Chains A and B, each alone.
Chain A
Amino acid sequence: MWLFALPALLINVCIILVPAVLTFTAAFFMWDGVGKPAWAGLANFQNMFADPVFWSALTNNFIWTAIFLIVPVCLALVMAAALLMAPKARIVVQSIIFLPRIIAVAVTGRIFQGMIFSPATGVVAWLNEHGFSISDPLADPDRSLYAVAAVDIWHWWGFLAVVFLSAMRQISIDQIEAARLDGAGFFALFRYVLIPGIRPTLTLMLILTVIWSFQVFEFIFIVTRGGPAYGSEVLATFAYRHAFFEGDVGQAAAAACVMSLFGLCATAVYLWLQITDDAQST
């Protein structure tokens, strides 16, 4: 049996475990990416914790996580429940809401940057020309994170809705019919049948959302590059900037370790929930 698992194990060791160990090791060295690394002990972590930009990035990651645990999840749950109740509209609506997911991240970022938010060429420009006074949210350090989050929500929530819909469709139709016969309306059905019915999927998606939120990079890098004035800086852009613009791979690795820590915590919570569930069901 172990022989069958060997290829997958080897691939995982090569592309996950080895880079993870190397990154963890790099966090304890001063390295500019091309020269010889020098032992630094905990200096990279000390420097990072002393940097206000790191704390700003970490805060932004928490804000991002909170937004993504609430907004797209709620939107997706409601949409999935509505589609479950309206089978005729399901295919068309499902396709429409899933469409953003098909568009590449880079393209989506550029579309929003140039055609929506831009005060020179975007919808914002058109609104300004027609009497509305709207400034570009991407240019405001207090709003840029939320603007990029809106872009990512647009890209993400449809996928989430489709996943939830698939899970809801596994719920026994008898259970739904019985609830209806008992007089349950949409919200009662949603609250007492659908949500409990998809709890394992919901838990998994929430945990994945936390993990992905601490890895968020593409949209922020494409749309704002973490700016302006570090307004949308997150741990991944912090790490990228240190590694590739400042030639400080050690500091970038230290930031990556912090990102991994949150991912590991989220995974531990998921495993604990699963073990608890398994214990209850046996």
Chain B
Amino acid sequence: MTMTRRQLVAAIPAAALAASLPRDVRAEDGRKVVTFWFGQANSDGQAALRNDLVEAFNASQDKYLLQLEVKGAAVNNLLKVALVAGNGPDIVQTAGPAYLTAIANAGQVLPLDDFAEKYKWKDRFLAPLLNTSVYGGKLYALPRDYESMHLFYNKELFKQNGWKQPTNRQEMEAIADAALAKGVIPFGAGNADWKGVNEWLMTVFFNNVAGPDNVRKALAGELPWTAPPFVEAVELSKAWYNKGYFGKNYFSLTIEQSFLQVVNAKAAMAFSGTWSFGTKSYGMSKPDTVIDVMPTPTLGSAFTGSLVHLACGATLSIAKNSQNAEGAAAVFEFMLTRKFYETMNRDWPGKWALPVKDLPPDMLQGIGYPLFEKTIANLHEAFSKGQYGFTTWTFWPGATNSYLIEGIEQVWLNKITPDAYLTRMQTLFSQEAKEGKVPPLPPRTA
């Protein structure tokens, strides 16, 4: 059909008006549509999202239709812009409480307290993780998973060399030095594709050198980041980098390449997170036979023993402008079902480890991944008891965390001193703390 000039001119304001009206939120079959944007997902992950979440949810009822779009690495930026424009998805997934803080403070997501009451979420989630999304007494998000840094190691390499799991810094450095002497990289690491690897390492150094209690005090504003325990932590990170513990090509290797070094026995160990259990894509069909995981031991004198690190890799909220909040809550409730927990963790391990009391980790026994099952069980226990450190990506506010990541490279490459690094961090942190940008801190026990 051809339009006359007059029709065309009339159509422009009509189209503009239509664009500003509420979106049609009903599918062809009459079901109300729930939209959800996801960030990065590899091929395994995309298949799991499609089969275990979207299709399974849509088949489970006839009131709502879940529509999921994988947006890629830029999802956080897209989301902020869309929310401000009042045009975001119904389900707002952020990269964790530190990202959620700004969005919740701006009132771009709905308080979930009524849904939490209805579905008993406050009784079902582990309190330390759920409380990271409570602002001003209101719950703004559900934690999608729990994460922690772990020390992965090559079992065969340890066995061949008679290395035992280290329990303190001396033992750890002895193994690292022995590995270096044999031409083996002590810790496979690389940040060529993701600078956030810097903060994975700094999470370990801050918590396992300075101690989780000191980290909590600093996050609560009771201890400056320039205090001696943190100086010791940064200096140790620099010493290890300069000794070559992280290899010669830290800035040139991708996460996958560096993890493969451990798999191929070119590196002895690797500090990585729970997300690495999705490493079937890293070329390991049976990870349990090649690698194992140990908790990261103390690296300083501030505490003894080993430590896991409390992290929430993603939060799930409902947009303020959602046309279908009930449907979004129904999706959340579906995610808490035993079937979803089992299938998603089987198909995409480590991505959706829901921190829920009534889905015990021993349920994972059937998924054929003992290493993952063991680790999740340990995490579940540690988080339930309040015994954890604090991850940078969950508890550090945005600008401070960005500097933590970027600035540490200057320290490692001898551009600035550890003192200068921590002084700058303290300046940024003080400002952000004053502006209320520090996420809520859960209590911890010794």
Contact = CB atoms under 8 A, between A and B. Distances in A.
Interface stretch (A136-144, A157-165, A256-264): A136-144
A53 to B, nearest CB: 8
B103 interface: yes
B249 A119 contact: yes
A200 interface: no
Contacts of B192: 113, 118, 138
Nearest to B260: A120
A139 B250 contact: yes
A183 interface: no
Contacts of B252: 117-120, 136, 138-139
B84 interface: yes
B119 interface: no
A227 interface: yes
A225 interface: yes
A246 B402 contact: yes
A120 B106 contact: no
B221 to A, nearest CB: 19
Given A141-B415, A244-B76, A228 B409 contact: yes
A34 B398 CA distance: 13
B413 interface: yes
B227 interface: no
A228 B251 contact: yes
Q: Which residue among A32, A113, A138 has the maximum number of chain B CB atoms within 10 Å of its CB? A: A32
A141 B257 contact: no
A197 interface: no
A121 to B, nearest CB: 8
B102 interface: yes
A90 interface: no
Interface residues of B, number: 31
Contacts of A227: 195, 251, 406, 409
How many residues of A sit at the interface, in one of the four size bands? 20 to 34
B251 A35 contact: no
Dominant SS among interface residues on chain A? loop
Interface in A218-242: 225-230, 241
Contacts of A136: 249, 251-252
A245 interface: yes
Interface string A34-54: 111000000000000000000
A241 B403 CA distance: 10
A89 to B, nearest CB: 38
Given A119-B248, A244-B76, A35 B102 contact: yes
A179 B402 CA distance: 61
Contacts of A120: 249, 252-253, 257
Nearest to A36: B106
Contacts of A246: 398-399, 402-403
A141 B413 contact: yes
A33 B84 contact: yes
B106 A241 contact: no
A244 B95 CA distance: 13
Contacts of B84: 33-34
A139 B249 contact: yes
B77 interface: yes
A244 B77 contact: yes
B262 to A, nearest CB: 14
Q: Which residue among A139, A225, A228 has the maximum number of chain B CB atoms within 10 Å of its CB? A: A228
B102 A33 contact: yes
Contacts of B248: 119, 135
B106 A138 contact: no
Given A136-B249, A139-B250, A139-B252, A34 B102 contact: yes
B80 interface: yes
B327 to A, nearest CB: 23
A138 B253 CA distance: 11
A120 B251 CA distance: 11
Interface in A96-150: 113, 117-121, 135-136, 138-139, 141
B102 A247 contact: yes
A152 interface: no
A138 B83 CA distance: 36
Q: Which 9 A-B pairs have the closest CB atoms?
A: A139-B251, A35-B106, A246-B399, A229-B409, A34-B106, A136-B252, A229-B410, A245-B402, A247-B398
17 contacts: A33-B102, A118-B252, A120-B253, A136-B249, A136-B251, A136-B252, A138-B251, A139-B251, A141-B409, A227-B195, A229-B409, A229-B410, A229-B413, A230-B409, A230-B415, A241-B402, A247-B437
Interface of A: 32-36, 113, 117-121, 135-136, 138-139, 141, 225-230, 241, 244-248
Interface of B: 76-77, 80-81, 83-84, 102-103, 105-106, 108, 192, 195, 248-253, 257, 398-399, 402-403, 406, 409-410, 412-413, 415, 437
Given A32-B102, A139-B249, A227-B409, 15 more contacts: A33-B84, A34-B84, A34-B103, A34-B106, A35-B106, A118-B253, A119-B252, A139-B252, A141-B415, A229-B409, A229-B415, A230-B406, A244-B76, A247-B437, A248-B399
